[in-house]
Every structure is written in structure tokens, then in C-alpha cells.
Chain A
Amino acid sequence: MSADVFAKKRRNSLLLFLIVGVATIVSIIITEYNVAKGFTSVPKAVQWALSNFYPTMDSLAKLPDILVKLKETLLISIAATTVAAVLAFIFAVLGSNTTKVNRFFGSISRGIAILFRNIDVSVWSMVLLFSFGQSSFTGYFALFFGSFGFLTRAFIETIDEVSGSSVEALQATGATYLTVISQSVIPSTIPQMISWVLFMIETNIRNATLVGLLTGSGIGFTFNLYYKSLNYDIASLVVITIIISILCIEFISNYVRRMIL
């Protein structure tokens, strides 16, 4: 009897493996993708990058310009995330099962969050490009909407997971709704929420490059400009500054996380 259970498990794993394998092969055939050629071109790409895609002494002259744009992008990412976090907290309180006012508001705020979360920042930036044109505004709002959706979702989970029991205790003392939120929900969830906000800032700095590319603003635009005009050395310098700044932000947020948790 128990041997059957294990045999069945093995059969299921084998079946799953087969399905994935068949799906891969079928998609390769349909798209006419040449696997061998795909892999053999990797060394060629590396070779190209090594011979063209590196900064030279001349490109360093452009560094101040790049840094100005980089700073703008970083600040926009941080501003978009923090403002989105405040709004997301309000929606999360209304949408969480533990703290919702009633079912109606709960579904509404969860619905809005789902809508915003499932539209990618790249889509937001293309859509907003029509309203705000080529400006930092477009980038800001694209990041803002994306972060808002994601953070609302993350905050709802955090509230439900962490503060359920103490909310019950404070309600039992006769405390009012806002008192319960500020005395129980906020103190018990704040470290996790800050952690999510830091994670979102990191993600947004990465996204900001893409958004800038699409909306013609910030560091993404700078990269695109030099890349399209075949100034690969300066374009590579842009990439390096982005990587360094992301590493710095990650280091800082890891440090903050260790301190607060």
C-alpha cells in the first residue's frame, strides 16, 4: 500500500518532467529557434562586448552629465516608492481581513491593488507617455503605480500574518478602530513594511532604467542616446554607474534591514 504511494509519486514526477520536455521541444520547433546556433553565438557576443563595450578615458569626460541623470533617476525611484507606500498602507489596512472596515471596502481596495499590480511598469510608462509626454513625471507615475499595486499586496499579507492576534486583544479592551491600527497594527508590522519598501526601492531603480528608456527620461534615456549613436564606450560607462548604484542601495538596505528586524 505505502509502496504504491511512492510509486505513484515517482510516476507523477516523471510525467511532469516529460510534459515540460515536450513543451520545450514543441516551442523550439514552432519558433524555428536553432539551439546550437544560439549557444555558439554567446562567445561571439562576449567577444564583441570585450572589444567595444568598455569605457575609455574620453568617455570619463561625460561622467558628470551621467551622474546628474543617475541622481535624478535614483531620487525619482525613492520618491515614487515612499509615496506609494503611504497610499498602499491605507489600502492594505482597508483590504486586510484582520482590519477591514467591511467586506465592500475590502474587495474594492483589493481589486484596485490587483489591477495596478498586474499592469507592468513598462505598460504604465507607454500609457502615461500619452498623458504626460516625455518628462520625469511619466517615469515617476509609472513607478508609482507599479509600486502601489505590489506594496498593497505585500502589506495586506504582512498585516494578516503579524498583527491578527494583538488586534483581537485591543478590540476586546474597547479601543476604537484608529487606536487599534496605530497601537497594534503599525508597531507590529513596521519592520516588515520597511523591508518591503527597501526591496521596492531596489526594484524601482532597476525598473527606472527601463522606464527611462521607454519614456525618454532619466538614466535610461542617457543610455539609449549613447547606445543608438554608437558611443558604446559611454553607454558602457552608464551601465557601470547603474550597477554600482544598485549595489550601494542593496548594501544600504541590507544594513537597515539587519538593524530593524
Chain B
Amino acid sequence: MTTLLEVKNVSKQFGKDTKALSNVTFSVKEGEFVSVIGPSGAGKSTLLRCINRMVDTSSGEIIFDDNYVHQLNKKELKKVRTKIGMIFQHYNLVNRLSVIENTLHGRLGYKSTLAGALGLYSEDEKLQAARILQILGLEEQIYKRSDQLSGGQKQRVGIARALIQDPKLLLCDEPIASLDPNSSKIIMDHLRNICTSMGITVVVNLHQVDVALKYSDRIIGVNSGKVVFDGTAKSITSNDIHQIYGSDEGKLIFDLGGSHVS
């Protein structure tokens, strides 16, 4: 399998002495499902945002699909961003717009400023949006306003918006951190399914170790801006997890016995 994303020696500094990331290096293969775990404030969100340059790196290289992301100009960066879908903890929808309008926002990156500003979508794009929403089980909500949806439904709209971009990579920033266990499972099942059946690479930030172990091909453990673990979900030991979270033995709530789906 070819390498889709390479992160080489990436560091990020906020202000003078807040070091969010230091010398982070890892690579992601095409079609992989990778979870990034680590304590709050470890730099997981920053790491994810460095990949599509929502946050500029201080040093290091990011290579996505043979593009040197850190060197791109504005126009090239926008083009690369169309190939990277992003999913957020708080869904980041435009609440007053309908589900299908929010979904179609994913196409805006492909449009000229005029067509985008006026919101001119082709018939094909609208049909595709409807198809994606149907796959995600939202066919009854298509014309509802987004603020009438439940959290789990909103997150599915977020996924739809990312999928309609026709992305090669999905970046998910704590996609289930504000959801109940049932909705969380639905969302994670969808993400896993997107990865397995559509062949889209998924990188997801997670707080739930057991969820990460259950769904991922690979785990990257981050602590204080450094990668402290990088390996398959099957090979991780409880010792590794304690090291990632910097905690004492036996003080964490997780279960290594969870089965691995793929």
C-alpha cells in the first residue's frame, strides 16, 4: 500500500514558550484507520489541524498525496483541502441552514468564488448529497433545519459534508466526545465503514481508549506534543497506555479485552 500522508519532524510553537508539538514524525498508508490518543492538551487537535494547515507548523514537513503542504501557496492549499475532509467535536454546522445545504457546503471548495458565494450547486451535486445522506440514515431529515437535529444526527451531517468533498483523507477531531454511547457507536461504525468500503483513509483523535482499540488499525499515542507510541492496535500493551497518559498502573478505566473489528 502506498503512503498517503507523511508527517516529518513537525513542531508547533504558540507564542514564546508554549510548545504544542515537538518533532512529531509518523506516516499513514492509504486506506488505514489511525487513532491518535493522549491526554487533554497533549497537542492532538493541533496535530490534526497542522495536516490541512488550519494551523501553520513552526517547522517540519507535511507531505499529503505528494504535495508538500507546508510549502503550498493559498490557491494550491485550497485545492489540497478539497481532498481532506474534516469532522469536528461540535459538528461546526451552520445551524440555521437545512441538512442538505450544510451537506452541500462540502462542495464549496471546488467552486469559483462567484458560484460559491451564490451557492450554485449542480443537479448532480444535489443528488449525490441526497445519496450520501441516505447512506448515513438521514433521508427523513434532509430538509430539516440543522438545529432541530440530535447530536448524533448533527455529526452524521458533518460526515456527509466531508464525504461529498470526495476526500482521500478524513480528519476527525474528537468526533464522539459530545455524544452518548449509542450515537458514538453509530458514528464510529460509519467511520469504520467509510474506511473499509470506500477506501478513504481516516485519522481520528479520540479520548476513549477502548473505542480506539476496537476500531483502529493503528494507534498513535501523543503526550506533551511528542509521539510516545506508534503501532498496531493489537500490539499495544497496558504499559504503553499508561505511558501515553502518564498515569500510574491500574488507575485508568479501559478494557484491553475489547475485540477488534475490521
Q: Closest B-chain residue to A168, C-beta based?
A: B92
Q: Is the CB–CB distance between A183 and B105 below 8 Å? A: yes
Bound complex: CA A148 to CA B250 (Å): 61
Bound complex: CA A184 to CA B106 (Å): 12
Neighbour of B117 across the interface among A166, A174, A179, CB < 8 A: A179
Q: Is the CB–CB distance between B93 and A187 below 8 Å? A: no
Neighbour of B84 across the interface among A165, A170, A172, A178, CB < 8 A: A172
Name which of B22-30, B75-83, B224-232 contacts chain A. B75-83
- Is B86 on the interface with A (CB-CB < 8 A)? yes
B167 to chain A, nearest CB (A): 9
With a cutoff of 8 Å between Cβ atoms, the chain A residues found around residue B106 in the complex are 173
Neighbour of B94 across the interface among A173, A174, A177, A187, CB < 8 A: A187
- Is A171 on the interface with B (CB-CB < 8 A)? yes
Neighbour of B93 across the interface among A166, A178, A179, CB < 8 A: A166
Neighbour of B108 across the interface among A163, A168, A179, A190, CB < 8 A: A179
B36 to chain A, nearest CB (A): 17
Q: How large is the interface on B (under 10, 10 to 19, 20 to 34, 35 or more residues)?
A: 35 or more
With a cutoff of 8 Å between Cβ atoms, the chain A residues found around residue B85 in the complex are 173
Bound complex: CA A188 to CA B91 (Å): 14
B56 to chain A, nearest CB (A): 13
With a cutoff of 8 Å between Cβ atoms, the chain B residues found around residue A182 in the complex are 116-119
Q: Is the CB–CB distance between B94 and A184 below 8 Å? A: yes
- Is B113 on the interface with A (CB-CB < 8 A)? yes
With a cutoff of 8 Å between Cβ atoms, the chain B residues found around residue A174 in the complex are 77-82, 108-110, 165
B-side residues, CB < 8 A to A, are 52, 54, 77-82, 84-86, 88, 90-97, 105-111, 113, 116-119, 158, 161, 165
A-side residues, CB < 8 A to B, are 163, 165-166, 168-184, 187-188, 190-191
**Sampled A-B contacts (9; CB under 8 Å):** A166-B94, A168-B54, A168-B88, A169-B93, A176-B78, A182-B116, A187-B94, A187-B97, A190-B96
